[in-house]
Structures are given as structure tokens and as C-alpha cells.
DNA sequence: ACCGCACCCTGAGCGC
DNA sequence: TGCGCTCAGGGTGCGG
């Protein structure tokens, strides 16, 4: 599940493939709600353009183009943005992965889930976007156009302060976990890193946001920064679908302390970790360390 | 205004 | 072995 770290790693590694190259071909799948901008319009808008930068806001990637328009991408849950020159078992269905050595899986061929393919006016690799579940989004913004999705994003989780978090949590009766996932409060936090940060800060995910103290908000902001930065360092979490644009898996899944570890011992106090559904998201926590 | 929840989608993993 | 069911969840939007 691409969250801030995975999107940031993707940004850093895909930027060299995108920047300064003129887009010559744009191939898409059929219209669906994956395309907030209809494919026909998207193809027209992108052909001949050149990305001048690649920015990240929360979990969104934004590429300002040379005509002042912008290409906006969101990877959703299962989105993969990668070079056509790479392959990875994660690009294949489990059935197709079976038994194959990684080096035997050459030449990933675009399938029905490969929704966007950008080709360039040189001989280099293309940039492909694949998303089996289509929870991702592709959007083109005309010069000067804005989008409510971007406008409502709160401060980036990497730079948000404990004071901001404290202010945003006052009078809120929702669980602190749900508040962390609200992109208008903090941009970039998803289920994995919310759970990890709450454990790091010693705060139970189900606690009402308004009952989290100023000191705990400071601890939460610090834990978020620590967890997110460490994940970026290790290439993100490749738990199911996520791959780096260069086909290389992240390694942060090996450093998880609570996410997906229900029943296993807490690495701090050895108490078996618990799972509880909060706001339709599974939450993992230590009943002893997190109050 | 605030909050909970259904919905979009497909593949994995399970039970029978 | 194979089918069908359930679950996973980011973000949006609606109903209470």
C-alpha cells in the first residue's frame, strides 16, 4: 500500500526517467473512474509535453509540464509506477509467480491492469503505471486549474508539528487513528505508518483524539517523522504490491513493530499484539505499551 | 459540523 | 483440486 514513504521513493527513482524527456506516445486502457481525466483527453494533453519537475504532496505525485499544465497521479492501494525496462514478481499474479526465479521473469508485458504508458522521443525506457484494483487516479490539470483533492490536503506528515496535530485533535471525538488517516489533517499517512507511529508514541489507536495530550501529540509527530524517514531510507514497505520504479523491493516491512503482527509478541514488552477495526481499517497495537 | 459507513475493484487466501 | 466466499483498504460522498 503506497503511503508517503513509498510515494516519495517512487518520486525519487522515477524522476530521472520522466524529467526533460518529451512524451511521444500515450497509451491507456478504456475509460473508467481510474481516469479522472478521460483517456482521450489525457492522450491529447500529454502528447508532446515534457515534465519539468516531479513533486509529492501527501500521497500524490504532481508533474508540472512545460505548457503550465500538470499531470497528477495517485497510486491508491495497488498502484505501481515503474520503468518498462524492469520486471518483478510483484508485477505478476501469484499464480504466474509460482516457482519462477526472479531472473526468469524477463520482459513484463503490459496487461489489462497497465492503465498508462508514456513513451518518449528517445530510445530510453517508457514509464508505466499499473493498478490491479483501480483505486489509483490519473488526472490532468490545465494551466492554472486547481483540484479539490489537492486543495484540501493538510500539512505533509514529514513536516507537520506536534502543535499542529494537537490543534487539529481538539474537540474531535473520532479515534486518534482515524484523525491520523485524515489527509486534511496530515497528508501522507496511511494504515501502516499510523499504526507504527501510534506504537512508537505509546498511544492506543482507539483513544478519542480530543483526549490525546499535547505531549503525546509531540511524541506522535516525532514518531511519525522517525518512522516515515526510516521507511524512505529502506525503500518503503513491499508487503504486497509495492515495487520501486526500478523493480527493487523496499525493506521496511522487516522493521514493522505492529502492523500485520497480530498475536505476535510486542518487541518492547513481549505482550501479544492485538488487532481491532477502527473506522473500517484494521489497527494493530500493544495493549500494554499503548494506553 | 461531525462522524460512521458504503462504495469503487480484484486478487489472495481460506473453508468446504 | 476447485469453487465460492470474505477480506484487504485510499479516498470520496452520503445519510444520520
CATH architecture of A162-285: Orthogonal Bundle (1.10)
- Does at least one atom of strand B sit less than 7 Å from the CB of A172? yes
Please say whether the structural domain A4-151 has been given the CATH code 3.20.190.10. Answer: yes
Alpha-carbon distance of A172 to A212, in angstroms, equals 10
**CA A281, C1' C7: Å apart?**
11
pLDDT at A240: 65
Express each pLDDT in A223-270 by its tens digit. Answer: 999 999 999 998 776 666 667 777 777 767 777 899 888 888 999 999
**Mean confidence (pLDDT) of chain A:** 89
- Does at least one atom of strand B sit less than 7 Å from the CB of A280? yes
Domain boundaries, chain A: 4-151, 162-285
Protein residue nearest nucleotide C7, by CA to C1'? A282
- Residues of A designated as active site: 2-3, 59, 281
Count the neighbouring beta carbons within 10 Å of the beta carbon of residue A163. 12
- Does at least one atom of strand C sit less than 7 Å from the CB of A181? yes
- Does at least one atom of strand B sit less than 7 Å from the CB of A44? no
B chain positions with any atom within 7 Å of a protein CB: 2-13
Query: CA angle, A252 as apex, A180 and A177 as ends, to 5°?
Result: 15
Express each pLDDT in A143-170 by its tens digit. Answer: 999 999 999 999 999 999 999 999 999 9
Amino acid at each position: 500500500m503506497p503511503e508517503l514513504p513509498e510515494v516519495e521513493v517512487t518520486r525519487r527513482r522515477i524522476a530521472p526517467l520522466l524529467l526533460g524527456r518529451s512524451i511521444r506516445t500515450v497509451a491507456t486502457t478504456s475509460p473508467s473512474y481510474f481516469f479522472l481525466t478521460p483517456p482521450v483527453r489525457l492522450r491529447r494533453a500529454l502528447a508532446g509535453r515534457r515534465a519539468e519537475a516531479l513533486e509529492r504532496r501527501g500521497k500524490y505525485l504532481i508533474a508540472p509540464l512545460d505548457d503550465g499544465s500538470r499531470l497528477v497521479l495517485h497510486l491508491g492501494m495497488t498502484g505501481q509506477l515503474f520503468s518498462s525496462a524492469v520486471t518483478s514478481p510483484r508485477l505478476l499474479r501469484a499464480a504466474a509467480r509460482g516457482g519462477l526465479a526472479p531472473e526468469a521473469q524477463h520482459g513484463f508485458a503490459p496487461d489489462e491492469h497497465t492503465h498508462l504508458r508514456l513513451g518518449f522521443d528517445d530510445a530510453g525506457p517508457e514509464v508505466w503505471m499499473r493498478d490491479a484494483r483501480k483505486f489509483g487516479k490519473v488526472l490532468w490539470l490545465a494551466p492554472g486549474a486547481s483540484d479539490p483533492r489537492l486543495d484540501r490536503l493538510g500539512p505533509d506528515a514529514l513536516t507537520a508539528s506536534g502543535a499542529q496535530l494537537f490543534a487539529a485533535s481538539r474537540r474531535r471525538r473520532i479515534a486518534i487513528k482515524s484523525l491520523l488517516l485524515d489527509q486534511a489533517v496530515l497528508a501522507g499517512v496511511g494504515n501502516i505508518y499510523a499504526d507504527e507511529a501510534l506504537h512508537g508514541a505509546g498511544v492506543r489507536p482507539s483513544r478519542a483524539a480530543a483526549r490525546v495530550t499535547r505531549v503525546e501529540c509531540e511524541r506522535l509527530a516525532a514518531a511519525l517523522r522517525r518512522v516515515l524517514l526510516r521507511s524512505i531510507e529502506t525503500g518503503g514497505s513491499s508487503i504486497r504490491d509495492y515495487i520501486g520504479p526500478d523493480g527493487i523491493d523496499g525493506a521496511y516491512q522487516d522493521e514493522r513493530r505492529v502492523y500485520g503482527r497480530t498475536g505476535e509478541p510486542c518487541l518492547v514488552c513481549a505482550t501479544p499484539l492485538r488487532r481491532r477495526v477502527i473506522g473500517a481499517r484494521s489497527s494493530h497495537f500493544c495493549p500494554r505499551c499503548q494506553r
